[in-house]
Chain A
Amino acid sequence: MGDYCSLALDEGGKAHISYQDEMLKDLKYATNASGSWVVKAVDTEGDVGTYTSIAVEGIGAGQKIHITYRDETNKALKYAYYGKIDVYTTEIKHYERGENYEGDLPQDKIIVPRAKTEDKTIWFLNTFDSGGVGKYSSLKQDSFKNLHVAYYDDAFRNLKYAKKTGEVREEVIKTHTYKYKGENDEEWSETNSEKSFEGITIAHQTIDSDGNVGEYASLALDTAGKVHIAYFDATKYNLKYISNQSGPFISSVVDSGGHTGIYTSIAVKNNKVYISYHQYMPQDSLRFAQAEK
């Protein structure tokens, strides 16, 4: 167990780890937030849970967990969320006249306006993108709680980027049907509930398509919420970097010569960009690049 692990710390220094259970091909989540380690199977549908990346928001009862990962069965980028969501309910009341009933009905249709009726804590699963994507997902959350994900499109061999805005909520439409057979004599009533999850918007785009690029993607955000991504150019065997710090995404080569730029990991702080990566040739080594923007 434990392939494709990703670690995040919450504000209390507690660990949250996403990973694939390699034997069961499930996405799992482990945390010691309660003081001892607890493991949860998050997604068990098909072969899922490779290339995980995790982000943690808040602490305690209001804590929220965000995980991106690859669905190998459907070759898609998936998203798992754990936390509190709001539930909104709209009620519709129908009144029907029975065979022997000739009296008045309360009203043919009454709609009780949509209102927040509860909140609850759930695991929520969603597909962010599909069609041969989702390897090397790298996730970060900005100060506006938007999620930013870099990942590889192995169908077209491009680097892709997705941004999730909004927060998931549950919408419930309850339809009550009442039928009358005699004056004020309710024969039966029936209630149907339809549930849907709404509230989030996913925008994804290809941000580098120059050759076979995007494997080993690693994403970081600066304090302005601008995106910085390190990744591998498998056509030229270079380490590349792309950012939208100045507006549109602009890519550049960080390290070239030989075979360099796999297993990247990027961090950004105080207008400086740091990247660790592996060089296979000419020196089989751990490398480090630093730049001031």
Chain B
Amino acid sequence: MFFYGCQKTPSSDSLESSKANISWHKSTIDLPGVGEFSSLALDTNNKSHISYFDKTNRNLKYATNASGSWVTTVVDSTLNEGGSTSIKVDPLGGVHIAYLSYASGVRMLKYAFNNGGDGLSLLLMLLQGWGITVL
């Protein structure tokens, strides 16, 4: 397991009206060299949780705004290559991520779980790290 956390101040774009009369608020959450294989889930407080691949550092990463501002952490730093992430948040705030890992010539399906994704216990989440299972 490996993790760290960092506060992000996302760069925010102006609102853009489309022909469907929808105003989108867009922002950059993390960079550079990140964001492939992103997967998004909402928790019971409508806060966002995103898993994604960091191709520069070969990490699985996780971003959330559960605490009010975006925080990114490394979930798994043992990937030579990765992809195909899929994230869900359970009603108790536990964060579950299934993802592909390619390390040492072996392709694996892995599963990461952290039970502290509800914002209030975000610090706990960072402290306790992720439980990772190889399937």
Contacts and interface: CB of A to CB of B under 8 A. Distances in A.
Interface of A: 1-9, 13, 15, 17, 19, 22-23, 30, 37, 39, 241, 243, 250-255, 262-267, 269-270, 272-279, 283-293
Interface string B75-95: 000000001111110111010
Given A2-B100, A5-B84, A286-B28, 17 more contacts: A2-B109, A3-B83, A6-B98, A7-B96, A8-B88, A17-B98, A17-B111, A19-B109, A241-B22, A254-B26, A263-B36, A276-B29, A279-B35, A285-B28, A285-B29, A287-B29, A288-B50
B135 A30 contact: yes
Contacts of B135: 1-2, 17, 30, 37, 39
Interface string B33-56: 111111111100010101010000
Contacts of B110: 2
B40 A13 contact: no
B104 interface: no
Contacts of A265: 38-40, 50
A276 B39 contact: yes
B109 A263 contact: no
Given A5-B86, A6-B98, A30 B109 contact: yes
A110 B101 CA distance: 61
Interface centre among B23, B26, B63, B94 (most CB of A within 10 A): B26
26 contacts: A1-B108, A2-B101, A2-B109, A3-B83, A3-B107, A5-B98, A5-B100, A5-B109, A13-B91, A19-B84, A30-B135, A251-B20, A252-B18, A253-B19, A255-B26, A263-B38, A272-B46, A274-B42, A276-B40, A278-B35, A278-B36, A278-B52, A285-B28, A285-B30, A286-B29, A288-B27
B22 A252 contact: yes
A277 B91 CA distance: 24
A292 B90 contact: no
Given A2-B108, A267-B41, A269-B46, A288 B10 contact: yes
A144 B61 CA distance: 35
Interface centre among B39, B96, B98, B111 (most CB of A within 10 A): B98
A68 to B, nearest CB: 14
B109 A278 contact: no
Contacts of B23: 291-292
Contacts of B98: 5-7, 15, 17, 19
A9 B96 contact: yes
A274 B24 contact: no
Contact of B86 (A17, A250, A255, A285): A17
A15 B35 contact: no
A39 B135 CA distance: 8
B111 A286 contact: no
A274 B70 CA distance: 14
Contacts of A269: 42, 46
Closest 7 CB pairs of A and B: A2-B109, A286-B35, A252-B18, A285-B31, A278-B35, A252-B20, A7-B86
A121 to B, nearest CB: 23
A255 B24 contact: yes
B66 interface: no
Contacts of A17: 86, 98, 109, 111, 135
